[in-house]
Amino acid sequence: MWYKDTLVERFLKYTAISSQSNSEEKILPSSSGQMELAEVLKKELEKMNLSDIKLTENAILTARLKGTDTSFPTVGFITHLDTFDGGFSPDVKAQIKKFTGSDILLNEKEKIFLTIEENPEILKYLDEDILVTDGTSVLGADDKAAVAVVMMSLEYLIKEKPEHGDIVVAFVPDEEIGLRGAKALNLDDFKADFAYTLDCCELGEVTCDNINSASCIVNIEGVVAHSMSTKSDRVNPILVAVDLINRIETNDNPKEREAMFNIREFSGGVRNSRIRVAIGSFDKVEFQQQKDLITRHLKDLQDLYPKAKISYEIFDNFLNMKDGIGDKTHSVDLIYACMEKLHITPKTISMRGGTDGSDISNRGIPTPNYFTGAHNFHSNFEFLPISSFIKAFELTIEIIKSANQNINKKD
């Protein structure tokens, strides 16, 4: 497996470039490191002589590898350049540790350990080499493991020359803060029959079903008056906000495919208050009903508190890729067929989040999602068994090589 060491080297190279997204920034990309990484990738693509290489001012990088056989469909891969913030250090110091059955020391100075007690799933990887953090940041396997897999796949196709169709790739910024890069991607630069993201966790995970997500931002302006004034002169926006929260059946710990309202932000004082409500459902009809319900509550509150000024905005963050994929399931069936060839046991999950494929699928290109092999995304205890990482690469190559085959869908 000549590609093993190169795959890991690529990952370590990419994670060494700090590219944490910043939700406070409104520009795209939200951090300069994402453009730095995009420029590194662009040079590598140029060195591999790919065609149609394009890097926009927004750090959206696209390119095409010409196929060897026109009977194959064009397959796309989209990965994101940013890593999750979460209050962690933006600087990733990835390292390789062999798991010998004991807790893994991540940081000698800070005495940070990846413990078996809190991460029992690591027991599956006894005596294996594992990519880990130094305990101060995320690892960035989300999504730089995918970046490494895609770049390694291009190198493999050029060197080994298996039969394949055109491959289009896109590297986009700011997935972690609302799929901003994917939403800005010009699909004229990403003309694929179907595509994939590698943006979920452990070996075997497959996602072609994710929650529909929306946000409702509510701003309430009250009426301030001296306490000697009559009560009817005053409107306390905090109490109006509490009234809204009490009308919503919030659910902070939804299970599996359960719909939810969730209060994500509540701030303010006696003059102004602000609430941010997360809305989510896997079912698009129920999702619309949720948005209609909170709209009715807000209109009722305005009637109840006529002196208050209540403004709100409801906007979709991302939609369920399942609805975008519809009956165009070849891309999904191909994942399972290739997993079977590689003796990978699939673990199908309904994701309570979104991927760039959520957006791309609902813009007409079916884009399901499969594993990188990592565990504990968005955590300083994120870890990536190298054996699983290699399987993600091998699955990617198998999908490319098998893309023109008729797949018998299994019940």
Partners of 195 in the beta sheet? 76
Sign of CA dihedral 253, 320, 366, 208: positive
Q: Which 3 state secondary structure label does DSSP give 184?
A: helix
Q: Which residues of 177-202 are buried (b: 16+ CB within 10 A; e: fewer)?
A: bbbbbbbbbeeebbebbbbbbbbbbb
Q: To which H or E segment does residue 289 belong? A: helix 284-304
- Of the candidates 82, 85, 134, 174, the residue annotated as catalytic is 82
Q: To which H or E segment does residue 274 belong? A: strand 272-281
> For residue 117, what are the CA distances in angstroms to 104, 154, 378?
11, 39, 19
Q: Which 3 state secondary structure label does DSSP give 40?
A: helix
Q: Examine the residue annotation and report whether 292 is marked as an active-site residue of this protein.
A: no
Angstrom distance (rounded) from CA 235 to CA 106: 53
> For residue 49, what are the CA distances in angstroms to 156, 158, 172, 266?
13, 10, 20, 51
- Of the candidates 175, 176, 202, 359, the residue annotated as catalytic is 175
Q: What are phi and psi of 164, to 5 degrees?
A: -165, 165
Angstrom distance (rounded) from CA 142 to CA 15: 10
Q: Examine the residue annotation and report whether 175 is marked as an active-site residue of this protein.
A: yes
Angstrom distance (rounded) from CA 170 to CA 75: 11
Angstrom distance (rounded) from CA 300 to CA 250: 18
Of 19, 56, 55, 54, the closest CA to residue 34 belongs to 19
Q: Cite the active site residues.
A: 82, 175
